[in-house]
Amino acid sequence: MKRYQKTADFRKPVPSKGAQVVFLSALLVIIFAVTILNSARLRSVLNDSAQSYAQDVASQLASDITARIQSNEDDLLLIADTLLSTAQDENQLQALLDRQADILEFDHFMLLDQDGQEIFNDSGTENLKDFPGIQDSLNNGQASVSYIEGQSLLYSVPVCVDDEIIGTLAGLRTKEKMQALIQPKSFNGHGLTCIINNQGEVIVSPTDLKPFLQLDDIFHEEADSEVSQSIQQMQERLQKGQNGSFDFTAIDGSRLILAYNSLQINDWFLLTLIPEDLISGEASKYILSTFITIAAIILIFLLFLLAMFQFYSGHKKHLEQIAFTDPVTGGQNEAAFQISCERLFSQLQPFSYAVVILNVKGFKLINENFGLEAGNDTLRYLYRVIQRNLHDGESVARCEADNFFLTMNETDKRVIQTRLENLVKDINSFNEGRDTPYYLTILGGIFLVDDPSLDIAIIQDRARTAYQSLLAEQRSGFAFYSSDYTERLKKEQELSDLFDTSLENHDFQVYLQPKVRLKDGSVGGAEALVRWVHPQKGMIFPSDFIPLFERNGKICELDVYMFKEVCKAMERWIQEGKQIVPVSVNLSRQHFRHPHFLETFAQIAKDHHLPNWVIEFELTESIFFSNEQIEMVKHSIRQMHRLGFYCSLDDFGSGFSSLGLLKEFDVDAIKLDRQFFLNISQEKAKNVIACLIELAQKLGVYTVAEGIEEESQLDYLRAVKCDMIQGYVFSKPLPIPDFEQWVERQSAKGE
């Protein structure tokens, strides 16, 4: 279940990397767009205020210029009024005019008669009489200013004697002086101004003509519909004497503001041209730097994200490596195996793949005898060899300890078996040419995946179950999973669960099977055999639970229980004055794991006041072959004798019996297994039995023939002088009361 959990965790849905990137990118784009939008808005607000500011300044400039021109006119009027009374003669007058012109920054003053002729000085100046300004002064007595060729301005005021206009005083200011007049003091010298009339003709141009030449281009080209509209509007407004302004993009791409303000003199206007960024330029700089800062922050953020992303994916890779790599072999571990299997099996047909678990028998010994590093080397070697024996689409992983799981793309059991056998050969090929070969025994459980939709943990468990069936049956090689075995395991589990209560409830009963002396037909003893009489399940025979309890260790408790029950019965026999029949009890090999187990038995016998030599322990043959326990077994047999118990060698002949055992171990009896007598009609079998019994007698060991069912078998055994018979031919195992009656009947017969 834990394993299942683990794989389930790996499959937890995580928002995809792609989605995260898209989300973050969208966020950045939004931030960027909002920034652009805001700065565009700010720009337009700035432009609006720049334009109105420009308009204000231009209008201020216009009134300034108007005031100056008017003040020039006033100056001229003052001179005209005082002129004739101040000057005595022509020379004096001329000198006065020259001096005044100098002071007031006029080029020169001229005194004109009514015909427009210079009165004192005939400097060849053209007749100025037809100039509208002069006419105005002569006819209407007004101060006026007008434009003459070469961008000079001609000021004129009437000169009166006794309220009669006798001529005009004209002042000429040439182009340069006029330019100095209109040169704006504001805009840090960046703006340009000029004076035009309402027809758009230039009256006084600035020093630098360039922007106005461009302006001329615009006036003529009318390229941009918005600009041409503004220009048309301007022309209309000029006609009406109205002020105004508009902005436009010059040919070089710069934004300009053009303001026109009436000078209130003639039909003149002051045209002011200002670069827009002169006003909003500083703010634009801040906008730009804010913009760059935000872009830089976004860029840094992006770089940071990228670095994080790289770090994260590197880190994830590293974690994955730890999570999915077996530290010993460097190959796949169980988690990786499970994930790859899940992927593979999700697209599979039933019975197209097998999952195999392989285990090295006695691997612990390699670690113990050769050290942990040698053990790890072996695991790495196994991983390599298994891997090179796999086909495409198959995989292997080391799971816990020395367990390897592999997938095989095979359907035929024989092919799987052969491939695994070849694999084991390949594994042991390292022994070729070695003086002292060391063969590895490999056991394997195989599950042919009949249902690929099964959880991988269950599939693995089935392979494991197949492997465990091998162990349970003490087989080697490979076993395929079968549901029968699982059924059996289930039943066994049920029995295991029932054990404790059954022991308390005395559901386990002692049956006694008599051993009869061949010599005189008397009862020589009995074997205590357990029967499980369960209130619900009925009678359960030892073959159904003894192997199970041998495995789970409960057998020791059961043996002690049986021993107690036997002692109880014998104590009663003594008390009731009945014949004491020696009873043998079976002793599982599991007891030999506990060095002092015999003390328990001795104590029980003592508690029931049993005399010595009435109880025998039956030790099954296989225990004498276990190298680990051999000394312990010898020691225990000696101790049994010391404590007054007999000891017999059970099931002799069922396995790898050896006559050597009889010499080696000081047993009192051998129980010849049923197997011996199955083909007793054959001569060879008869000879073996005869030799065996003869040898036993020579060694002072008495013989019991087990499982004797036929009279014919009895005849032969009598002939070869077998001591005792235990078998259905005399009696089946009987409940104690029945056994007691049987003994009574048998004794009566004998008498």
Give residues in contact with ligand C2E (CB under 6 A).
513, 529-530, 541-543, 546, 555, 559, 562, 586, 588, 618, 650-651, 706-709, 727-728, 733
Q: Which of 136, 651, 668, 723 binds Ca ion (CB under 5 A)?
A: 651
- Alpha carbons 555 and 561: distance in angstroms, whole number: 10
Tokens of 602: 């001795």
- Alpha carbons 694 and 692: distance in angstroms, whole number: 5
Tokens of 59: 């209008």
- 709 interacts with, out of ligand C2E, Ca ion, none, CB within 5 to 8 A per kind: ligand C2E
Nearer to ligand C2E, 230 or 590 (CB): 590
- 334 interacts with, out of ligand C2E, Ca ion, none, CB within 5 to 8 A per kind: none
Q: Which of 559, 650, 723, 740 binds Ca ion (CB under 5 A)?
A: 650
Q: Specify the stretch interacting with Ca ion by CB under 5 A; choose among 164-172, 339-347, 362-370, 698-706.
A: 698-706
- 542 interacts with, out of ligand C2E, Ca ion, none, CB within 5 to 8 A per kind: ligand C2E
Residues 6+ apart with CB under 8 A from 327: none
Taking the complex as a whole, the smallest distance from the CB of residue 527 to Ca ion amounts, in Å, to 5
Residues in the chain: 751
Taking the complex as a whole, the smallest distance from the CB of residue 612 to Ca ion amounts, in Å, to 21
Q: Specify the stretch interacting with Ca ion by CB under 5 A; choose among 204-212, 364-372, 469-477, 701-709.
A: 701-709
Q: Specify the stretch interacting with Ca ion by CB under 5 A; choose among 59-67, 226-234, 241-249, 700-708.
A: 700-708
Taking the complex as a whole, the smallest distance from the CB of residue 512 to ligand C2E amounts, in Å, to 11
- 562 interacts with, out of ligand C2E, Ca ion, none, CB within 5 to 8 A per kind: ligand C2E
- 72 interacts with, out of ligand C2E, Ca ion, none, CB within 5 to 8 A per kind: none
Is residue 128 exposed (0-12), middle (13-18) or buried (19+ Cβ within 10 Å)? buried
Eight-class DSSP state of 133: H
Taking the complex as a whole, the smallest distance from the CB of residue 470 to ligand C2E amounts, in Å, to 22
Tokens of 93: 């007058």
HEC profile of 576-634: CCCCCCCEEEEECHHHHHCCCHHHHHHHHHHHCCCCCCCEEEEEEHHHHHCHHHHHHHH
Number of chain positions touching Ca ion (CB under 5 A):
5
586 interacts with Ca ion by CB under 5 A: yes
Distances (CA, A) of 364 to 294, 375, 428: 66, 8, 18
Nearer to ligand C2E, 148 or 546 (CB): 546
Strand bridging mode 669-672 / 702-706: parallel
- 555 interacts with, out of ligand C2E, Ca ion, none, CB within 5 to 8 A per kind: ligand C2E
Nearer to ligand C2E, 461 or 565 (CB): 565
Taking the complex as a whole, the smallest distance from the CB of residue 594 to Ca ion amounts, in Å, to 21
- 728 interacts with, out of ligand C2E, Ca ion, none, CB within 5 to 8 A per kind: ligand C2E
245 interacts with Ca ion by CB under 5 A: no
Nearer to Ca ion, 131 or 645 (CB): 645
Q: Which of 543, 553, 561 is nearest to 591 (CA)?
A: 553
Nearer to ligand C2E, 450 or 709 (CB): 709
Nearer to Ca ion, 447 or 508 (CB): 508
| Site mask for Ca ion (CB under 5 A), range 593-632, x = bound | -------------------------x--------------
Cα end-to-end distance, the chain, whole Å: 68
Nearer to Ca ion, 136 or 559 (CB): 559
Taking the complex as a whole, the smallest distance from the CB of residue 584 to Ca ion amounts, in Å, to 7
Q: Which of 561, 581, 439, 566 is nearest to 511 (CA)?
A: 566
Is residue 42 exposed (0-12), middle (13-18) or buried (19+ Cβ within 10 Å)? middle
Site for Ca ion in 168-207 (CB under 5 A): none
Could you please report the per-residue DSSP string of 249-308?
Answer: E-TTS-EEEEEEEE-SSTTEEEEEEEEHHHHHHHHHHHHHHHHHHHHHHHHHHHHHHHHH
Taking the complex as a whole, the smallest distance from the CB of residue 586 to ligand C2E amounts, in Å, to 3
Residue 150 DSSP SS3: coil
- Alpha carbons 328 and 152: distance in angstroms, whole number: 104
Site for Ca ion in 273-292 (CB under 5 A): none
Nearer to Ca ion, 559 or 706 (CB): 706
Residues 6+ apart with CB under 8 A from 271: 193, 194, 195, 196, 212, 258, 259, 260
Which residues in this chain contact Ca ion in the complex, by CB under 5 A?
586, 618, 650-651, 706
